[in-house]
Amino acid sequence: MALKKGYKQLLDEANAEVTTLQVDDLKAKASDSNVVVVDIRDIRERQREGFIPGSIHAPRGMLEFWVDPESPYHREIFASGKSLVFHCASGWRSALAAKAVQDMGLDGVSHLGGGFSAWRDQGGETLKTDDGREPKS
């Protein structure tokens, strides 16, 4: 079966339209209260690998439903007007996710090039919990 578009073309299109932040860019923005880091990896990835402290978890499979105010699954953080930086493990899913929500009409959307792997490998702070969730303060 021949596809009209393969994943490589989809990634090329997404990366041409979405702002890609590098690890140092995100480190510089990490303390900005107007920036929300959105981890779209599966919860099992967060449990196994850890996560960026303060990031919110929004599974890729639910993202469009959580973004849309008309959806019964809507999450207010996506209507907050804050800048959203999406990340996955390597930057592929997050590029596609950022493009999808940008196409839906969200402004201030970007993604982390190289994903969580680049973050961790370049000394970004990580946190690991048994359930993959941020500890309650």
* pLDDT tens readout for residues 105-132: 999 999 999 999 999 999 999 999 888 8
Q: Which domain holds residue 52?
A: 19-121
Measure the CA–CA gap between 39 and 85, rounded to whole angstroms: 8
Do the domain assignments include residue 131? no
Please report whether residue 4 resides in a domain: no
Domain count along the chain:
1
CB neighbour list of residue 94: distance below 8 Å, 6 or more residues apart: 40, 86, 87, 88, 111, 112, 115
pLDDT in tens, 55-90: 999 999 999 999 999 999 999 999 999 999 999 999
Q: Is residue 43 part of a domain?
A: yes
| CATH code of the domain in which 60 resides | 3.40.250.10
pTM of the predicted model, to two decimals?
0.94
